[in-house]
Copies of this chain bind each other. A is one copy, B any other.
Amino acid sequence: MRVITLLLAEDQVMVREALAALLGLEPDLAVVAQVGRGDEVVAAVAAHQPDVALLDIEMPGLSGLDALEGLRAAHPALKVVILTTFGRPGYLRRAMESGADAFLVKDAPAAQLADAVRRVLAGERVIDPGLAAAALAQGASPLTDRERDVLAAARAGAGNAEIAAALHLSHGTVRNYLSTAIQKTGARNRAEAVRIARDKGWL
């Protein structure tokens, strides 16, 4: 029997080692490399040549989605499973566009993880069905690129002047974008707009 080799990228050490223990229980799977930062993924894949990479999204250095884009060109045969805490439809959409082979949330039963690894190696695409439905129902973001930029800049609590300086825009333009973003999200102020956009995966 051929053993499937895995790379595991997840920033929380205890969770990462626990997932490794879980996968280690499967006789046909072997975790051959572990990293805790997104910007270490590409080098680790090059060094260990795993069959499948399991990537968390939220990681320091580089997100799992950004790492995925860096991998696709150099390693076309590598299968990539995105594993994340947040089942945001926006994440799913972006992961699929970037060429992920599977998308799982940490809320799913553990058995799905090993199952997904085997299925992507068989050439299947594996997506949480409930999440796929939500992504379709929600549709694409109604925000233009600049509206998203401005909302993202407002996330940390910056005022209009700071946002304008950061994005090299005029004071009034920032307010206009924020105003349209607030209307498109159905919010009543910037803070609520940020929360809604984040929840829907538009940010």
The 8 A CB mask of A22-49 against B (1 = contact, 0 = none) is 1001000000000000000000000000
Is A165 on the interface with B (CB-CB < 8 A)?
no
Shortest CB distance A190–B (Å) = 7
CB pair A157 B12 closer than 8 Å: no
The 8 A CB mask of A99-124 against B (1 = contact, 0 = none) is 00000111111101100000000000
Contact A107/B14 with A157-B189, A189-B159 known, Cβ cut-off 8 Å: yes
The 8 A CB mask of A172-201 against B (1 = contact, 0 = none) is 000000000000000111111111000000
Contact A22/B12 with A157-B191, A157-B195 known, Cβ cut-off 8 Å: no
Contact A12/B85 with A18-B18, A21-B18, A157-B188 known, Cβ cut-off 8 Å: yes
Count, chain A residues at interface, CB 8 A: 36
Is A166 on the interface with B (CB-CB < 8 A)?
no
Q: Which residues of A contact B (CB under 8 A)?
A: 11-15, 17-19, 21-22, 25, 83, 85, 104-110, 112-113, 154, 156-159, 187-195
The 8 residue pairs across chains A and B that have the minimum distance between CB atoms: A157-B192, A17-B110, A157-B191, A18-B18, A21-B22, A12-B106, A18-B22, A14-B106
